[in-house]
C-alpha cells in the first residue's frame, strides 16, 4: 500500500454528479434520500457497502478522510458523491461534512452508516420507515436485536457506561447511544450542528435532541464484529475519550448536577469529619490533626464546587437566553 498522501487543496473538494439538480427539478415532490459514510482507508469493504446501500437511496455520499489507499478511487468509480478532506479530521469532522453536504443538496432524508462492513445496508429501509411516521431521528440499536451474541462482552460494558453518561447529560433514554447507524429527517438535518472532531460526535448529536425538540426512536440492527481491521483506535482509548467528552458536555449542560451535587457531598464529608474532631477535642482536650485537616480541606473544596456550579448555571442560562433571542 502506498502510504504517501496525495496533495489536496486546503478546502474539501466535492464531486457532485450532474444529475442531482436534474433529479430534484424533475421530481420536486420526491423525497431525496442520501446514504452517507465516513471513510478512512476502507478499500477492503467500501465497494460492497456502497453497492448495497444505493439499492435503498437516491445517492451515496462518501467522506474520504484523507485516506492513503484506494478508498477515494473506488467510491468515485462506483458513482458516489465524494468529498475528500485535505487532512484527517476524525469521525466528528466527517460528520460535519456529511451534514453540510446534505443541506447543500437539499436532502430530505439522511442515513449514516460505517463504510467498514460492520453495518449491513439491508437495515436502511427499517431506519427510514419511522421518518415517514413523523420521527426526526432513528437510531439503529444493537441491544434491541434478538441476537446479541456477536457483541464482545467488553464492548457491552463500555457501551453501557457511555449510555448512562449520555442519559444523564442529555436527559434522554437511549439503549444504544454509541450506534453510528442512524437516519435523520429534514428537521434534524437542518438543525443538528457537530462541533467536535472526535468519536464523541455521535453523543454530541444526541444531546441536541431536547434542544431542538426532535422526535426519536430506535429500531433493531445487527453489527458484525468478525471483520478484520475495522477500527483504527484501541476500544479502551476510544471509550475513555468519549466518556471524557461526555463529562465535559455534562458540565456545560447540567452544571448543578455535575458540580453542585459533588460539592454538597464533599461538604457533608467535611462537616462529619469536623464534628468528629470537635467531639474528640471535648472528650480528650486534644484536637486530632487528621480529621481536622480533612474537615477544612473538604469544606473549602465542597463550597468551591457549589459556588462554581451556581456561577456556571447562571452563565449557561444567559447563553441559552441569548441564543433564543
Query: Angle 115-33-36 (CA atoms, 0-180°, nearest 5)?
Result: 20
Distance (Å, whole) CA 38 – CA 40: 7
pLDDT tens digits, 216-268: 999 999 999 888 766 556 777 878 888 888 877 877 778 888 888 899 999 99
- Note the pLDDT of residue 255: 86
Task: Name the stretches of the chain with pLDDT < 70.
Answer: 1-29, 147-149, 229-233, 320, 323-325
Distance (Å, whole) CA 244 – CA 312: 19
The x, y and z cell numbers of residue 290, run together, are: 487528621
- Note the pLDDT of residue 230: 61
Which pTM does this prediction carry?
0.79
Sign of CA dihedral 109, 112, 115, 119: negative
**Which whole-number Å values give the CA distances from 9 to 66, 86, 197, 211, 262, in the listed order?**
12, 6, 20, 36, 48
Architecture of domain 13-253: Alpha-Beta Complex (3.90)
Amino acid at each position: 500500500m502506498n502510504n504517501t498522501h496525495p496533495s489536496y487543496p486546503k478546502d474539501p473538494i466535492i464531486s457532485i454528479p450532474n444529475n442531482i439538480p436534474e433529479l430534484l427539478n424533475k421530481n420536486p415532490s420526491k423525497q431525496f434520500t442520501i446514504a452517507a459514510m465516513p471513510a478512512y482507508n476502507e478499500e477492503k469493504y467500501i465497494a460492497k457497502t456502497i453497492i448495497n446501500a444505493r439499492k435503498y437511496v437516491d445517492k451515496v455520499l462518501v467522506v474520504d478522510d484523507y485516506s492513503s489507499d484506494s478508498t477515494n478511487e473506488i467510491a468515485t468509480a462506483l458513482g458516489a458523491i465524494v468529498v475528500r478532506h485535505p487532512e484527517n479530521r476524525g469521525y466528528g469532522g466527517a460528520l460535519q461534512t456529511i451534514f453540510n453536504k446534505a443541506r447543500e443538496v437539499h436532502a430530505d432524508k439522511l442515513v449514516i452508516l460505517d463504510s467498514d462492513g460492520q453495518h449491513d445496508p439491508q437495515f436502511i429501509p427499517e431506519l427510514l420507515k419511522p421518518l415517514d411516521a413523523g420521527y426526526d431521528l432513528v437510531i439503529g440499536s444493537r441491544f434491541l436485536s434478538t441476537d446479541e451474541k456477536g457483541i464482545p462482552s467488553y464492548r457491552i460494558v463500555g457501551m453501557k457506561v457511555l449510555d448512562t453518561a449520555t442519559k444523564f447529560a442529555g436527559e434522554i433514554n437511549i439503549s444504544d447511544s454509541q450506534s453510528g447507524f442512524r437516519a435523520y429527517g429534514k428537521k434534524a438535518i437542518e438543525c443538528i450542528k457537530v462541533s467536535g472532531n472526535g468519536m464523541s460526535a455521535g453523543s454530541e448529536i444526541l444531546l441536541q435532541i431536547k434542544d431542538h425538540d426532535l422526535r426519536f426512536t430506535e429500531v433493531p440492527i445487527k453489527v458484525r464484529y468478525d471483520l478484520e481491521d475495522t477500527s483504527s483506535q484501541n476500544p479502551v482509548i476510544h471509550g475513555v475519550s468519549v466518556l471524557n467528552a461526555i463529562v465535559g458536555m455534562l458540565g456545560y449542560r447540567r452544571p448543578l448536577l455535575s458540580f453542585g451535587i459533588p460539592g454538597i457531598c464533599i461538604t457533608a464529608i467535611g462537616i462529619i469529619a469536623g464534628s468528629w474532631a470537635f467531639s474528640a477535642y471535648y472528650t480528650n482536650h486534644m484536637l486530632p490533626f487528621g480529621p481536622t485537616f480533612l474537615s477544612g480541606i473538604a469544606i473549602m473544596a465542597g463550597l468551591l464546587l457549589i459556588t462554581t456550579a451556581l456561577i456556571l448555571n447562571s452563565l449557561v442560562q444567559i447563553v441559552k437566553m441569548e441564543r433564543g433571542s
